[in-house]
Amino acid sequence: MQFSRSPGAVIGCLDHCSRRYASYRSDLAQELGIGRATLYRWVGSRDRLLGEVLWSLAELGLAQSRTQATGRGAAWVLAVYRRFGDLIVGLEPLRHFVKSEPECALRVMTSKASPLQRRVVDTFRDVLVEAQKTKGLKLRLDPETLAFAMVRIAESFLWTDLITGGTPDLAKAQEVTEVLLT
């Protein structure tokens, strides 16, 4: 799967920010005609900036996954989940970032250090609510709790190489999530 729009600028920013944040911050502040302190108030920490960059990619991918998914009920939710997971696995600049800065990547992608995880959880909550209202999904848990569990399951299996040294396995995340949805 590919993005409908080219994320080249965002990927370039991810690469640039992850390697040269201090000089990037100075250069950007100068280009905008503001002080570095003002830029920091706008952008926040390096982790927050990286989270915003990653969210801009995730937002595109999630929207595309929702549009392209087919089926009803749990099948539709799982199609969105699988398509988004496939997109993450196939995004080479993200894999490079994860490989070159594993601790930072995990912090940015899986914690409150950045807005990324919260927004992904919120989006999957919205996916669940949509499926419940329009696609016949019957939920046994509230959408917020289930969305959080789904995202944490995906993180555990997608980034298992960083967490336990194992091999990432998106199919296992799908299996576990399917049990929760059916």
> In terms of pLDDT, which residue wins out, 138 or 13?
138
Q: How confident is the model at residue 170 (pLDDT cuts 50, 70, 90)?
A: very high
**Residue 181, Cβ density class (10 Å: 0-12 exposed, 13-18 middle, ≥19 buried):** buried
Mean pLDDT of 107-122: 92
CATH code for the structural domain at 8-181: 1.10.357
Instruction: Enumerate residues 6+ apart whose C-beta is below 8 A from 62.
Output: 80, 84, 120, 123
Distance (Å, rounded) from C-alpha 8 to C-alpha 103?
24
Tens-place pLDDT, residues 87-113: 998 888 888 888 888 998 999 999 888
> In terms of pLDDT, which residue wins out, 176 or 41?
176
Domain residue ranges in the chain: 8-181
pTM score of the predicted model: 0.82
